[in-house]
Amino acid sequence: MALMQGKKCLIMGVANHRSIAWGIARALHREGAELAFTYQNDRLKGNVEKLVAELEGHENMPLLPCDVTIEGQLEALFDELGKRWGKLDVLVHSMAYARTEDLTGRFIDITADGYKLAHEISAWSLIGAAKYAKPLMEAAGGGSIITMTYMASERVVERYNVMATAKAALECNVRYLAAELGPSNIRVNGISAGPIRTLAASAVKGLSDIRDLMEEKAPLRRNVTQDEVGDVGLFLASDLSRCVTGEIIHADNGFNIVGVTL
C-alpha cells in the first residue's frame, strides 16, 4: 500500500510549478493521497488549474478559493472541505507575502501597514487555518500541519527584512500550536528550506548569490531541489513522523550549520 493511501490533504499556497507546495503535492500524490488545493483569486486560479490537470485523477481534486486577508474566507474554505470530505489528514500551509519596498528598502523604514500585512498573510494565517482544520483532523483521528519557513528567521539575511520577522513569528506559532493541538493527535511542524527559485523568493534580490554560496559552503556542496523538499514534506505528512511535532526541520543540505562570512 502507498504511504499516503486514503489520506486527505489540503494544499494551500501553490502559485506556479516552482512552488515548494507543488513539490510537496506531487510527493503526496505519488504516495496515493487525495488532494485539494486553494487559490487566492481568479487571476491565480488558472495557474493552479493547469498544474492540477497534470495529476492523475485531477477531476476529483477540489479547487477552492481562499484569500486569508478577506474575513470569512478561511472559515468558508474549511466548511466546504468538511461537506466534501468530512475529515482532513494533512494541511500544507505555504503562504507568504510582503510588499517589495518592505523587502528591498531599509529595515528601519518598514511601515506599520507593511509589517501587519506581511505578518497577517505569512504568519497569522497558519493560526487561522489550524483553528478551522482542527475539527476535521479530530474527525480523522489526528493530523499533520506543515508550514514553510526560512533561515532568515534565525539570522540576518540581506534584503529579507520584514519577511524575516514574519517567519520568526511563524516558527513561534508552530511551537504554540503543536503544544495546544497535541492532545488531539495533531502535529505541527515547519520546513526551513534552502533557497529555491519560487515566485515568493523572486522578490528577494540576491537569491542567485545565496544559491552560489550554498554550492560552495553547504556540507553537501549543492543546492536543494523542489523534489527534495517535497519528500521532506511527505515525511512530515506521513505516519513515519508520528512522534515529531513542534519542530523546524532544515532542508538545506546542511547550510544552516555553517558559519559563513559574507
Question: Whole-angstrom Cα distance, residue 79 to residue 186?
Answer: 19
Q: Give the pLDDT mean for 22-27.
A: 97
Lowest mean pLDDT, pick from 43-47, 63-67, 70-74: 43-47
The b-or-e profile of 75-95 (16+ CB within 10 A means b, else e) is eebbeebbeebebbbbbbbbb
Q: Which of 216, 126, 141, 119 is nearest to 186 (CA)?
A: 141
Is 176 part of the annotated catalytic residue set?
no
Order across the sheet with 186-193: list the strands.
63-65, 34-39, 8-12, 90-93, 143-149, 186-193, 248-251
Selected residue with higher pLDDT from 217 and 123: 123
Question: Can you give the residue ranges of every domain in the chain?
Answer: 8-251
- Domain 8-251, CATH 3.40.190.10 — does that match? no
Measured torsion, CA atoms of residues 3, 236, 15, 18, in degrees rounded to the nearest 10: -80
- Asked whether residue 135 carries a pLDDT value surpassing 90, the answer given is yes
Which residue of the set 39, 97, 132, 160 is catalytic? 160
- Asked whether residue 249 carries a pLDDT value surpassing 80, the answer given is yes
* Exposed/middle/buried for residue 156 (C-beta within 10 Å: 0-12, 13-18, 19+): exposed
Selected residue with higher pLDDT from 59 and 206: 59
- Asked whether residue 202 carries a pLDDT value surpassing 60, the answer given is no
Selected residue with higher pLDDT from 201 and 95: 95
Contact 221, 255 (CB under 8 A): no
Q: Give the pLDDT mean for 24-38.
A: 98
Q: What is the pLDDT of residue 79?
A: 98
Measured torsion, CA atoms of residues 130, 115, 102, 251, in degrees rounded to the nearest 10: -30
Report the alpha-carbon angle 203-100-118, nearest 5: 95
Q: What is the pLDDT of residue 262?
A: 46
Is 150 part of the annotated catalytic residue set?
yes
Q: Give the pLDDT mean for 84-96.
A: 97
Question: Whole-angstrom Cα distance, residue 180 to residue 86?
Answer: 22
Lowest mean pLDDT, pick from 61-65, 124-128, 154-158, 189-193: 154-158
Which residue of the set 39, 115, 132, 150 is catalytic? 150
Contact 60, 85 (CB under 8 A): no
- For cell 526560512, what's the residue? 150
Helix (H, G, I), strand (E, B), or coil: what is residue 26?
helix
Per DSSP, what are the bridge partners of residue 11? 37, 92
pLDDT range class, residue 70, cuts 50, 70, 90: very high
- Those residues with Cβ within 8 angstroms of residue 30's Cβ, 6 or more apart along the chain or in another chain: 2
Residue 36 has which C-alpha cell? 485539494
Q: State the average pLDDT for the chain.
A: 92
pLDDT range class, residue 218, cuts 50, 70, 90: confident
Residue 69 has which C-alpha cell? 486577508
CB atoms within 10 A of CB 17: 15
Q: Give the pLDDT mean for 40-54.
A: 92
pLDDT range class, residue 261, cuts 50, 70, 90: very low
